[in-house]
Amino acid sequence: MRGRIALMLVLNFMLVLVPANVSGLDDQPSWRSNGLDPTMWVDGPVEEDTPMNRSYQGNAVFVIDVTYHTGLTSSETSGSITIELFEQWAPITTSNIIQHIEAGIYDGVFFHRVVNDFVIQSGDPECKVIGTYPITSPQCSGGGTGETIPLEHDVNLSHVDGAMGMARGAEEDSADSQWYITDTEQHGLDPENRDDGGYAVFGIVRDGMTHVRDIASTPTVTNPGSDQGVQNPGPDLLGRPIREVHIDAMTMLGVADPDGTIRFGVMTEDSEPFLSGKVLSYSALILLGLILLFIARIDPPKTLNQDTIVTYDAMLINEDLDDVSSID
């Protein structure tokens, strides 16, 4: 009887606990389980004394694959720009950009505005080549998805070198899909230094800053000064590259994993990574279940009472032959 009770407890334990863990994992996109080592990022921006210098465990990371020309007659250059999103400080803005990336709205668009020593700006789904560059939609530089988000600020975020922020119109809560990356620090865009609410920072370049510099210095139709702000350039094509700066794709890459818990599980300094913590946890749970199931098969003897009828087998022992025979 006790064996059956143990069996029921084990089955209930496994049915309740294991599906809960599995369903929790299924709710997350697959890239969330890809831990990235920040020490592999070597081409970053100039650092300031700011919390943005540090990479934070679990922050989403995406990559911008670009193709461009550094000069009018130069050959084509390809590369990647890696961005870490500060989800803990800009949850609305980072969620917005992740949704757009996963929807693929940035794939195939071009940078419609670049200003050396200021910003490179893109993110308008209307800015795609029609036939041959620079032919594009008349709405290019003023387009978006039609869904805006509120202006979001945090004391930990500012326009350091390589910061990623949201472009917007005159209204504070008019940011949509367009974004920019700063080429050198631009603290004049921070809210405390402006009367119009400033601009929302939500990420930073972790690798590929060389490509940001090269794109910012590519020849343009005009080259406005940084006092123009991050407004859409409009029909006069301010800052439009003469040769296309193309975004091949923007892809969610994984999450920052500076302490290694996603890549290696819980480790000591002297241990070698073998299995992830999740794999070890599930293995231990399954092993525990098998052991308890084995134990549950062994029932203890029943307690005898006066009404119990016991039948014994008779045993005939032949002492001369040392033989033991069983008689029913």
Mean pLDDT for all residues in the chain: 82
Q: Which whole number is the average pLDDT over 51-57?
A: 98
Quick check: is 87 in a domain? yes
Burial of 322 (0-12, 13-18, 19+ CB in 10 A): exposed
Structural domain boundaries enclosing 74: 34-264
Q: Which whole number is the average pLDDT over 257-279?
A: 64
pLDDT at residue 320 greater than cutoff 60 = no
Quick check: is 26 in a domain? no
The pLDDT value recorded for residue 309 is 58
Q: Which whole number is the average pLDDT over 94-122?
A: 97
Quick check: is 79 in a domain? yes
Quick check: is 297 in a domain? no
% pLDDT > 90, the chain: 65
pLDDT in tens, 43-53: 999 999 999 99
Q: Which whole number is the average pLDDT over 177-182?
A: 98
The pLDDT value recorded for residue 221 is 81
% pLDDT > 70, the chain: 68
pLDDT in tens, 135-174: 999 999 999 999 999 999 999 999 999 999 999 999 999 9
Q: Order across the sheet with 246-256: list the strands.
A: 35-36, 246-256, 60-69, 76-85, 201-207, 163-166, 179-182, 119-122, 113-115
Quick check: is 277 in a domain? no
pLDDT at residue 282 greater than cutoff 60 = no
Q: Which whole number is the average pLDDT over 82-109?
A: 98
pLDDT in tens, 199-250: 999 999 999 999 999 999 999 986 533 344 444 333 345 789 999 999 999 9
The pLDDT value recorded for residue 111 is 98
Quick check: is 243 in a domain? yes
Which CATH number do you get for residue 142? 2.40.100.10
Quick check: is 39 in a domain? yes
The pLDDT value recorded for residue 27 is 82
More confident residue, 281 or 209: 209
More confident residue, 327 or 152: 152
pLDDT at residue 116 greater than cutoff 80 = yes
Greatest mean pLDDT among 4-13, 146-155, 271-280, 300-309 lies in 146-155
The pLDDT value recorded for residue 161 is 98
Quick check: is 286 in a domain? no
The amino acid present at 310, given as its one-letter code, is: V
Count of domains in the chain? Answer: 1
The pLDDT value recorded for residue 12 is 53
The pLDDT value recorded for residue 23 is 43
The pLDDT value recorded for residue 234 is 39
The pLDDT value recorded for residue 80 is 98
